[in-house]
Every structure is written in C-alpha cells, then in structure tokens.
Amino acid sequence: MSFFKRRLPLLIVLFTGIVMMISYYVPHKPFSQFWDGANKWYMLIAGFTMVLGVVSLVRNHYRKIRQGKQGFGYSIVMFIAMIVTAVFGVIPHSESSPIWGNRSGSVFMWIFDYINTAAAGTVYSLLAFYIASAAYRAFRVRTLDATIMLITALIVMIGRVPYGEMFSDFLTNSIGKGLVFLRLDNLTSFFLNYPVVATRRAITLGLGLATISTSLRVILGIEKTYMGGD
Amino acid sequence: MKQWKFLSLALFISMFVMIYPGIGAQTPVELKIPTGLEVIDTPSDSGESLLLKWPKMENESIQWSYVIYRSSSPDGEFKEVEKIESSKEYGSDNPQWFGFDKENANFHVYKVSPVWEMRDLVLRSWGGKEQTTQERVEPLKTYYKIGVTDGEQTLIGKEVVSGIPKENWYRRDRFNGNIILIILFAIVITFILHAQRNPNLFLRKIPGIDAVDEAVGRATEMGKPILYSTGYYDISELSTICSVNILAHVAKKVAQYDSRLIVPCKYPVAMTVCQEVVREAYINAGRPDAFNASDIFFIAGEQFSYTIGVDSIMVREKPAANFFLGTFAAEALILAETGATTGAIQIAGTDSNYQIPFFIVACDYCLISEELYAASAYLARNPQLIGSLKGQDAGKMLLFFALIVGTLMVTIGVFFPDAEIFNIIKQFFTVR
C-alpha cells in the first residue's frame, strides 16, 4: 500500500518533472510530443473530474435544503439553474429545434449571455467600490510610510487624468520652464517607470528563483506534503 | 506684381521640395530581381519551419518590399505567402542562429512554414453531424521563389530553392537559460546537502506564517470556523501546490485545537487533493474522527461565481480567520474586503504581482510572492527544505551580482560599439 500511495506517485512526479524539463530544451520526438500529450491528458482527466465537482455540489446543497440551513432557498435556485442549464445544453442542436445545444440562438447560450455574463459583470463591478474602501484604509495618514504612499498616489492619480496635465501646464507657465521635471505627468511617468518597475522586477526575480527551488523540491520528492502527511 | 507672384510660387515650390522627402532628396532606384536565395533548416526547432536567406541588394530602397512565393512542386503554381519590408529581417537580428558576425547585417533572413501532408480527421458529435477536419502528418519538400515590389511594379526571380524541415535535438536559443538553470539547481542541491549535515541554519521570520497559530487559536476561542481558499488556479499550478502544503499545516493545527476548517474549492481536482491532505493532517494530529469531508467542497469553476460563493460563506458563517493563499486575480480584493467587513483575522499570500497591494491593504498579514513558496518549508522546519531556501537566497545573491556586472558591461559597451564581448554578454542574458 505504501508503494502505491507514496513511492509510485513520487516516481511519477520525478519522471514527469525530468521529462518535461528535457522537453523544454529538446524539440525532437518523443520529447516534443510529450509536452503536448501531457497537456492533452491533463485536460481530459480534468474534464472527467468535473463529475466529482458536480457530486460535491449536489451533496452540499442537498444537505443545506434537508437541514433547512440559513439561505437554503439559494440552494433550491442552484438546483433549478443547474438542471435547466444542463438539460438545454446537453440535448443536441438541430435545424428543426434550434433552442437545444450550445450554439448561438439556443437557450443555453441565452442563459450564458444574459444571466451568467450579466451576473459576473455585476460582481466584477463591485470591485470599484471595494477599491475605494481599500484606498481609504490604506491612505489614512498614520505613519510616515502611509503619508509617502498617500502623496505618491495623489500625484499618480492626478497625473493620469487630463486635469493633471492642465494643472501642470498652468504651473509650468506661471513658475517657469525650468521646473518641467515637476510636472505631474512627468512625475507620474517617473514613478510608474522606475520605482514601480524596479520593485516589480525584484519580486519577479525572487519568484522565479522560488519557482526553481520549489519545483526541484517537488521533483526530487523532498516536498511531499501535497500528497498528505508530513 | 508679376514678380511677386513668381517669387511666391518659386518659394512655395522650393519649400515643398525641401519638406517632402520623396522630391529632391533622392532619385528613384531601379527595381532589380533579388538573387542568391538559399533555404536552410531552422536551427533548434521541432521541424516545423525553414529559413530563407538572401543577400541584401546594392542600392536597396526602403520603399521596396520582398515577396516570398511558395509551391509544393517546382513547376506548380507559386502563391504569395509573405511580404517583407526591405528594411527589416536581417541576419544580425537573429544572433541565436547566426552569431555576432558583422557580415550578418548584409543578408536578409525570414522564417517560412513548409507545405504539409494532411490527413482527414472525422469528428462525430453525439447526436450531431459528422464534421471533417484536417490534421498535419509530416512536412513535404517545399519550393520557394523570391520577388521584389515597389508598390507599383513587381519582379519575380527565376531561382527556385527547396527544402524539408528537420527536427533538431537541442534548443540552442535556450542555451543561456539552460546554463543558468543548471547553476541554480547545483546551488540549491549543494545547500540541501549542506543542511543535512548542519541542520541549524538560520531562517528569517515570516510574520504571516507565525500568525497561523494566533489565527487558529482566535477561531477556537470564538467558536467560529476558519476559511481557507487555495486561489484561482487548479492543482497543476505551483502556487496551488504550495497553498495545499500550507493547508496541511493549518489543518493539523485546526485538528489539534478542535476547531472547524472550511475549504471552498474552484476546481474538483484541487478539491480532491485538499480533502486528502486535510484527512491526513487530522489523522496525524490523532483526530481522524473530527475530519468532515463535506467541509471541503466544490463551489463553481467560474471566477465570479466562485468569488460570490466564498463571499456568501464569509457573510453567513462569519469565520474568525480567513486564509487566501495561492494565485488570485480580480477576485482578490472582493474576497479580502468582504472578509475585512466580517471582522476576521486575514492571512493572505499570492504570487500575482498586481494583487499583492490589495492583500496588503485589506489583510492583517500578507505573504509576498516568494514567501508563499517558502512558507511550507518554513512551517515544516525540515533541514532539507530549509537548505533549499538557503540555496534560493544564494541564487538571489548570484543574480544580484550578475545584474550589477551586466549593467556595468552594457553601459561600458555603449562607448565601445565595435567590441563584440559586450554584445555577447547582452545576448547571453536575453530571454527567448
């Protein structure tokens, strides 16, 4: 049992990891085919595992309804939506009955376009309000760091809109051309092109190294917590 | 009056001649058929393309374009496949294939695809019609010609060249990456071996991970559950694997404290792995009876359906601690802000650069990028894992040194444009 549960998965990880690494540098068969083949296999297996997801979803919501938990009404809506969408999507499309299937003009696509996409768009639009509340929390002037961030953010925000440019024009014209580097649009470009890019690159470099190190740990079987156990 | 008119006209014409580049600046160059066309196999590829190479013509005008024609037989119909501006596509643009010889600026190179032998593939949908599509079998011997055009007139060469692409055994253009990877692997393995002999290596503190105990303890005291999200991606992503590793440690603590852990998942495979990992953690903590598989469940595979599902759990169940560890996209702030409004202690960690600021603002602790990958090793305190972290730090020092040297060399190279060494160094660090 230990072989099938521990050693075999580790051997598969070792073999797959090494072959995938080689196939990145060797474009010849069979390595060139292994990369595409492995990705196709993954897609196939992941497709089948959707059954696991549906079973989990049904079990979870059925339990909520049976126990009459808070918000169980939403579970009933979920069941109705799931069954209606699945029925209209699975039955094949034909010339005589265009409402079935998943082509344009079918009920399935109508549900997708006018319910799912609209609902997703609504949730996404909430982000604007959350950004406002998060910005309020971040920009409260309590420390030196927060003050620097507030000033920088104000410069970048004003510098990115046409009013910032107009304001800068006014300042440059009234104070003098020698202070052109202090224009808000120039300061904004400076902040975005130098400190921000430098920080992001530092993070990306660190992440790249961490990816190499972690991949090596996983491939060599040093890191095996994801298989369960210590 | 006439003189003024004449002078104004003369002035207007002379200004027009000076400003308009096509007049007065140069006389039109006679269009000539390009010669010396060669076909070579593309180095370092998987046998899917060929390179066409032809010398730069004397008096080549920037207003010309080269036209490439292709056919499957020498006597067959040659069809136009590409039009290339004469000022582009030089051998010197591709040092990965031709090196750094100055002569490379004297010829043009263009990558072309061959004609393929195709076979029919019949797809039969369930209850639907049969659909025939085609699939590539192997590349055929393909014939090429080259022509030149100035927009009005096109001259096509008589020379016909042919070739069949071959598979290559090594990506020479990725040689630099390969060398750097081998060096970094060697460093990490050296430190792992070193850590086995000397297990007491110093590791800097990661406050976000140290706060795990505090978060689980707080949830236990309040009698509320703990919510854990592994992020936007499936288990095939390294960030999700790292998140699952941290989940194992969190689950063990939860089992020891006899609290409740809720893990809503976006992918069924990740859900199955999480269930297995949490089950094992409960067994290792000596509490297999406390494990509840139904607390680790699938919500939805769609981004915002998942987001709103997790949000509703936070609002209804009011977890005392939220963990958002993995790769997140636009949902990061929606999740973190909802969690903040419920008053939960929040520990987040992500490798997505754009979401880090959101997590820093909305969460109590944030693991920045590589800390997410290091967290599992930090928690396990296994000498081999800690050794790999130290190796990672040594690799960082190496890159830091390479950055300084590289910047200096490229800066000095500006003053010595003829010195090839600077170009070689620059190209070595160019990612392809």
DSSP for B401-424, please give it.
Answer: HHHHHHHHHHHHHHH-TT-HHHHH
Contact B370 A209 (CB under 8 A): yes
Residue A23 shares a structural domain with residue A105:
yes
Q: Are B354 and B332 in contact (CB under 8 A)?
A: no
Per-residue pLDDT at B338 exceeds 90: yes
CA-wise closest residue to B293 among B277, B306, B307 = B277
Quick one: average pLDDT of A82-96? Answer: 89
Pair type for strands B130-139 and B107-112 = unpaired
Q: ipTM of the predicted structure?
A: 0.89
Per-residue pLDDT at B271 exceeds 80: yes
Per the domain annotation, does A221 fall within a domain?
A: no
Quick one: average pLDDT of B340-351? Answer: 95
Closest chain B residue by Cα to residue A90: B126
Query: What is the C-alpha radius of gyration for chain A, rounded to an integer number of angstroms?
Result: 28
Which secondary-structure segment (H or E) carries B134? strand B130-139
Contact B392 A209 (CB under 8 A): yes
Residue A16 tokens read as 């797959």
Per-residue pLDDT at B414 exceeds 70: yes
| Domain containing residue A130 | 2-136
Per the domain annotation, does A71 fall within a domain?
A: yes
Closest chain A residue by Cα to residue B337: A130
Per-residue pLDDT at B87 exceeds 50: yes
For residues B298-331, b (16+ Cβ closer than 10 Å) or e, as one string?
bbbeebbbbbbbbbebbeeeebbbbbbbbbbebb
* Shortest Cα–Cα distance, B115 to chain A (Å): 20
CA gap A36, A63 in Å, rounded: 41
Per the domain annotation, does A222 fall within a domain?
A: no
Residue B331 tokens read as 């949902």
Closest chain A residue by Cα to residue B189: A216
* Shortest Cα–Cα distance, A164 to chain B (Å): 24
pLDDT on residue B22: 47
**Residue B70 three-state SS:** strand
Contact B178 A25 (CB under 8 A): yes
Contact A57 B126 (CB under 8 A): no
Strand order in the sheet with B107-112: B38-41, B50-55, B107-112
Share of chain A above pLDDT 70, in %: 97
Question: What are the chain A neighbours of B395 within 8 Å (beta carbons)?
Answer: 209, 212-213
Considering A93, A110, A136, which residue would you say is the last residue of a domain? A136
Per the domain annotation, does A217 fall within a domain?
A: no
Q: Are A104 and A113 in contact (CB under 8 A)?
A: no
Determine which of B38-42, B131-135, B371-375, B395-399 has the lowest per-residue pLDDT on average. B131-135
Quick one: average pLDDT of B79-86? Answer: 92
Contact B392 A46 (CB under 8 A): no
Those residues whose C-beta lies under 8 Å from the C-beta of residue B311, and which sit 6 or more positions away, are B334, B335, B338
Task: Give the one of A25, A123, A137 whose C-beta lies nearest to B308's C-beta.
Answer: A123
Bridge partner residues of B345 (DSSP): B321
**Residue A177 three-state SS:** helix
Residue A31 shares a structural domain with residue A10:
yes
Average confidence score pLDDT of chain B: 88
Contact A60 B294 (CB under 8 A): yes
Residue A41 shares a structural domain with residue A119:
yes
Residue A77 shares a structural domain with residue A177:
no
| Cβ pairs A/B, distance under 8 A | 204
Contact A116 B377 (CB under 8 A): no
Closest chain A residue by Cα to residue B368: A203
Task: Give the one of B302, B370, B384 whose C-beta lies nearest to A210's C-beta.
Answer: B370
pLDDT digits over A158-197, tens only?
988 888 888 888 877 777 666 777 788 889 999 999 999 9
Q: What does each C-alpha distance from B406 to B75, B82, B174, B415 come to in angstroms?
A: 53, 38, 19, 15
Going along chain B from its start, the domains and CATH numbers come out as 38-115+140-163 (2.60.40.10), 175-199+384-428 (no CATH), 207-381 (3.40.50)
* Shortest Cα–Cα distance, A15 to chain B (Å): 16
* Shortest Cα–Cα distance, B61 to chain A (Å): 37
Question: What are the chain A neighbours of B192 within 8 Å (beta carbons)?
Answer: 222
Determine which of A34-48, B247-261, B296-310 has the lowest per-residue pLDDT on average. A34-48
The angle formed by the CA atoms of residues A112, A46 and B260, to the nearest 5 degrees, is 90
**Residue A52 three-state SS:** helix
Give the type of residue at B133. Answer: T
Task: Give the one of A26, A131, A229 whose C-beta lies nearest to B169's C-beta.
Answer: A26
Question: What are the chain A neighbours of B44 within 8 Å (beta carbons)?
Answer: 27
DSSP one-letter code for A96: S
pLDDT on residue B2: 58
Closest chain A residue by Cα to residue B247: A226
Q: Show contacts of B150-154: CB within 8 Å, 24+ apart.
A: B150/B31, B150/B61, B150/B63, B150/B64, B150/B65, B151/B63, B151/B65, B153/B31, B154/B67
Residue A172 shares a structural domain with residue A68:
no
Residue B134 phi/psi, 5-degree rounding, is -120, 150
Share of chain A above pLDDT 90, in %: 49
Interface test with B, best of A133, A213, A230 (most B CBs within 10 A): A213
Residue with more model confidence, A4 or B301: B301
Bridge partner residues of B324 (DSSP): B229, B348
Pair type for strands B65-71 and B79-85 = antiparallel
Residue A126 shares a structural domain with residue A151:
no
Considering A136, A153, A168, which residue would you say is the last residue of a domain? A136
CA gap B270, B299 in Å, rounded: 12
Q: Are A70 and A58 in contact (CB under 8 A)?
A: no
pLDDT digits over A27-60, tens only?
998 888 888 888 888 888 888 888 999 999 999 9
Determine which of B158-172, B197-211, B390-404 has the lowest per-residue pLDDT on average. B197-211
pLDDT digits over A94-129, tens only?
778 888 888 888 999 999 999 999 999 999 999 999
pLDDT on residue A81: 94
Average confidence score pLDDT of chain A: 88
Task: Give the one of B168, B340, B373 whose C-beta lies nearest to A27's C-beta.
Answer: B168
Contact A215 B238 (CB under 8 A): yes
Residue with more model confidence, B269 or B14: B269
Per-residue pLDDT at A75 exceeds 90: yes
Residue A12 shares a structural domain with residue A95:
yes
Q: Are B143 and B56 in contact (CB under 8 A)?
A: no
CA-wise closest residue to B313 among A23, A69, A56 = A69
**Residue B132 three-state SS:** strand
CA gap A78, A81 in Å, rounded: 5
Residue A38 shares a structural domain with residue A107:
yes
Residue A120 shares a structural domain with residue A148:
no
The angle formed by the CA atoms of residues A27, A33 and A38, to the nearest 5 degrees, is 125
Residue A119 shares a structural domain with residue A178:
no
Determine which of A218-222, B70-74, B208-212, B413-417 has the lowest per-residue pLDDT on average. B413-417
Contact A32 B234 (CB under 8 A): no
Contact A210 B307 (CB under 8 A): no
Contact A25 B174 (CB under 8 A): yes
Q: What does each C-alpha distance from B160 to B67, B69, B147, B285 come to in angstroms?
A: 14, 10, 11, 75
**Residue B40 three-state SS:** strand
Per the domain annotation, does A167 fall within a domain?
A: yes
Give the type of residue at A64. Answer: K
CA gap A89, A87 in Å, rounded: 5
Those residues whose C-beta lies under 8 Å from the C-beta of residue B135, and which sit 6 or more positions away, are B118, B119, B120, B121
Q: Which residue has the tokens 């300042």?
A: A171
Question: What are the chain A neighbours of B300 within 8 Å (beta carbons)?
Answer: 57
Those residues whose C-beta lies under 8 Å from the C-beta of residue B92, and which sit 6 or more positions away, are B98, B102, B104, B105
Per the domain annotation, does A115 fall within a domain?
A: yes
Residue A110 shares a structural domain with residue A174:
no
Bridge partner residues of B132 (DSSP): B122
CA gap B394, A179 in Å, rounded: 44
Per-residue pLDDT at B11 exceeds 80: no
pLDDT on residue B24: 46
Per the domain annotation, does A219 fall within a domain?
A: no
pLDDT digits over B323-337, tens only?
999 999 999 999 999
Task: Give the one of B181, B269, B361 whose C-beta lies nearest to A212's C-beta.
Answer: B181
Question: What are the chain A neighbours of B391 within 8 Å (beta carbons)?
Answer: 213
pLDDT on residue A230: 55
Q: Report how many domains make up chain A.
A: 2
CA gap A37, B27 in Å, rounded: 58
Closest chain A residue by Cα to residue B187: A213
How far from each other are the two terminal CA atoms of chain A, in whole angstroms? Answer: 17
Per the domain annotation, does A180 fall within a domain?
A: yes
Residue A34 shares a structural domain with residue A113:
yes
